[in-house]
């Protein structure tokens, strides 16, 4: 964590503990009330992102999440007869071509059969 963030965390802790509005708390301080509110919001979002990333990392480590590689439309091989409205999905080494309006239930069954979902 950056030293600046530590300073803002302390300021925000003091503000929240004071029971005063941001405007009241900022009087005589070297920052504006709007900056105090903005920084509190930024630090809260950063904390939520870190918690979310930690949760994803913990889940991925448990082996319960499988990943599929999705190939963007631009890289789909048009020469093989695939239209630009086709999406190519790779699951467990198998490539699946999906056209607009595909049967989602059937796709889920196929991914499950290939071992892409647990």
All structural domains of the chain with their residue ranges: 3-61, 69-113
Region 76-100: what's the mean pLDDT? Answer: 66
Sheet of 86-91: strand order equals 69-71, 86-91, 94-99
Distance separating alpha carbons of residues 11 and 32, to the nearest angstrom: 12
Query: Are residues 73 and 100 in contact, defined by beta-carbon separation less than 8 angstroms?
Result: no
Task: With a cut of 60, say whether residue 83 has pLDDT above it.
Answer: no
Distance separating alpha carbons of residues 98 and 87, to the nearest angstrom: 5
Q: Give the contacts of 35 (CB within 8 A, at least 6 positions apart).
A: 26
Distance separating alpha carbons of residues 84 and 99, to the nearest angstrom: 9
Query: Are residues 99 and 84 in contact, defined by beta-carbon separation less than 8 angstroms?
Result: no
Kindly tell me the number of DSSP H helices and DSSP E strands found in the chain: 4, 3
Taking only the tens place, the pLDDT of each residue in 5-64 is: 889 999 999 999 999 999 999 999 999 999 999 999 998 888 888 877 777 666 555 555
């Amino acid at each position: 964590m950056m030293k600046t963030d530590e300073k803002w965390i302390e300021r925000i802790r003091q503000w929240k503990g004071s029971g005063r509005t941001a405007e009241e708390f900022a009087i005589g301080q070297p920052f504006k009330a709007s900056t105090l509110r903005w920084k509190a919001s930024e630090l809260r979002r950063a904390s939520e992102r870190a918690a979310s990333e930690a949760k994803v990392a913990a889940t991925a480590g448990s082996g319960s999440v499988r990943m599929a590689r999705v190939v963007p439309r631009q890289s789909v091989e048009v020469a093989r007869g695939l239209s630009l409205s086709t999406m190519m999905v790779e699951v467990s080494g198998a490539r699946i071509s999906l056209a607009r309006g595909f049967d989602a239930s059937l796709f889920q069954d196929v991914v499950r059969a290939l071992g892409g979902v647990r």
